[in-house]
Amino acid sequence: MALTDDQAPAQKQRPKPSLRRLGLSGKLLLLTIPLVMIAGLLIYVPAIANFRMNRLNDRLAAANTAALVLDAAPSGLVPDSLARQILTSIGARAVAIKLGQQRRLLASADLPAAIDHDVDMRTMTVWSAIVDAFEIMLEHGDQTIRVVGAAPGQAQFIEVVIDEKPLRQAMYRFSRNVLVVALLIAGLTAGLVYLALHYLFVRPMRRLTASLVGFHENPESAARIIVPSQRGDEIGVAERELSDMQRDLVSMLHQKSRLAALGLAVSKINHDLRNLLASSQLLSDQLASVPDPRVQRFAPKLLRSLERAIAFCQSTLSYGRAQEAAPDRRVIMVEPAVAEVRESAGLATDVSITWISAIERGLTIDADPDQLFRVLLNLVRNATQALESRTASDGGAQQIRITGRREGTVAIIEVSDTGPGVPAKAREHLFEAFQTSGRPGGSGLGLAIAAELIRAHGGHIHLVEGTIGATFRISIPDRPVELLSVRSERARA
C-alpha cells in the first residue's frame, strides 16, 4: 500500500557540511593561512621590484667596469673577440658612455634593429619600478632593454643594452623561491598560531562550553559547576562569573525544589488538618455550654483560634500556590491584638520572661487582623526562642517589649527582645525563606512570611540596628481615602 506525501515518514536530513559547523580551531586555522598569504603578497610586490632593480644595477656596475677596461685601451686595439667576451661576461649586447656632447660606443655584439624598452635608473620611482617589474613578467619573447645609469669619472651616464629574457627567467625563479618560502612561513606560522590560540583560547572556551552543556543536562548537580582557573584575563573572569552563576542557580533550584516539596506536604497536611480542626470545633462548641466560669473565660478564645486555623487551612487549599491571600484590611485597635498574641504565645503565664507593652492609648492600625496576628506571633515566638537560647551565665533580664505609635498616617509597631541578637551572617538574607533558621527543627519561614504579609499591606519591616538584642520595626501606612466618600458618610451620619 503506497503512502501519500502526507503519510510518508519524515526523514531526518543530514546537515550539510559548511564553515558554520567548523569548530573554533578550524576557523582559526582557515583564517590564519590566507592572512599570512596576504602578508606574503604585500611583501612580494616590492620585493620583486627591488630584485629587478638590483639586477639592472648589477649590469650597470659590470658595464662600468667593462667601460674602464675598454676606454683605457687605445682606439681600435681591442679585438672584436675580446670585446665579445667582455660583453658576454657582463650579459650585455652593447656598452656606451656619454662624454660631454659625444656618445661613444665602447663595444657591441649583435645589436638589434630597435630597442624595445628604455629604463633610466636615475629617475626610477617606486611605483614605476613595481609596474615595470610586472610588465616584464607578463611579456613573452626576447625583447631588449637599454638601461641608463650614472657613470664614474667625467662621463655623464653609461648605457648598456641587455636581453630581457634572462632577466624575466631570474624573476620567475625569485618568485618561485618567494612562493615556496611564503608557503613554508604560512604553514609554520599557521601551526604556531593555531597551537598558541588553541592553548590560550580554544581549550578554555571548550571547557566553558562543556561546562555549560553538562550543567544544562543536570542543573541541580553541584558536581557540574565549573572550577575557575587563576587566569586574570577575560576568560578567567568569564570562568569565575560562570561558576558564581551556576552556584546561585543550583542553590535556587534546591530552594525551589524544597519549596515545591514543602507546598505539596502542606497541601496534604492541610487537607487532613482541616477535618481534624472541624471536629475540634464541634467539641469546642459543646465545651462552651459548660457553666464553669474558667471554661466560659477561655472557650471564646479557643473557638477563635480554631476558626482562624480552619480559615487559614481553607485559604491554603483554595489558592494552591505559594502566595498569601490579599489582606482584608480594616481599622482595628492594636492593644487587643497584642494581648491576644501574648496569650497565644503562652507568655501570659510565663514568669521567666518579662512582657512589656508600651502601646499608645487608642492606637489603631489599618490592617488585616488575622495577618497582623500572624506577623506579631511570628516575631514574638522568634524573640521567645532567642531568649530561651541564652545560657544561665549570660545574665541580664529576659524581656520582650512591644511598642506602638503613629507618625502621621503610618502606624509603627516594634517588637524587641534582650536576646543575643541576629548574627551578622544571617542579616544579608534575613527575610528570605530557609535562610535564617538557627534552631533545630526550624523552617526559616517565619520572617519570610512576615515580610510578605507586611508588603501586601504596602508597608515595610526591617531590623533596627544598634539595639540590645533584636528589634524589628513594622510600618504600615493607612489606605488613602476618597474625599467624596468621607463627605457622603458624614452626611448620612
Residue 7, pLDDT score: 45
- Tell me the per-residue pLDDT of 403-459, one tens digit each, with 9 for 90 and over: 999 999 999 999 999 888 888 887 877 887 666 555 544 456 678 888 989 999 999
Beta bridge partners of 406: 411
The count of residues in the chain is: 493
Task: Give the pLDDT mean for 33-58.
Answer: 84
The pTM assigned to this predicted structure is 0.44
- Tell me the per-residue pLDDT of 87-139, one tens digit each, with 9 for 90 and over: 777 788 888 888 777 777 777 777 777 888 888 888 888 888 888 888 888 88
- Tell me the per-residue pLDDT of 324-382, one tens digit each, with 9 for 90 and over: 678 899 999 999 999 988 888 878 777 788 999 999 999 999 999 989 998 998 899 88
Residue 14, pLDDT score: 46
Higher pLDDT, 13 or 60: 60
Beta bridge partners of 315: none
Angle at 91 between CA 88 and CA 93, to 5 degrees: 75
Q: Is it the case that residue 141 has pLDDT exceeding 50?
A: yes
* Side chain identity at residue 84, one-letter code: R
Beta bridge partners of 263: none
Please state, as a whole number, how many other Cβ atoms lie within 10 Å of the Cβ of residue 459: 21
Higher pLDDT, 24 or 101: 101
B/e letters for 280-318, b = 16+ CB within 10 Å, e = fewer, are beeebeebeeeeeeeeeeebeebbebbebbbebbeebee
- Tell me the per-residue pLDDT of 153-211, one tens digit each, with 9 for 90 and over: 777 788 888 888 888 888 899 989 888 888 888 778 778 877 887 777 778 878 888 88
Average pLDDT score over the chain = 78
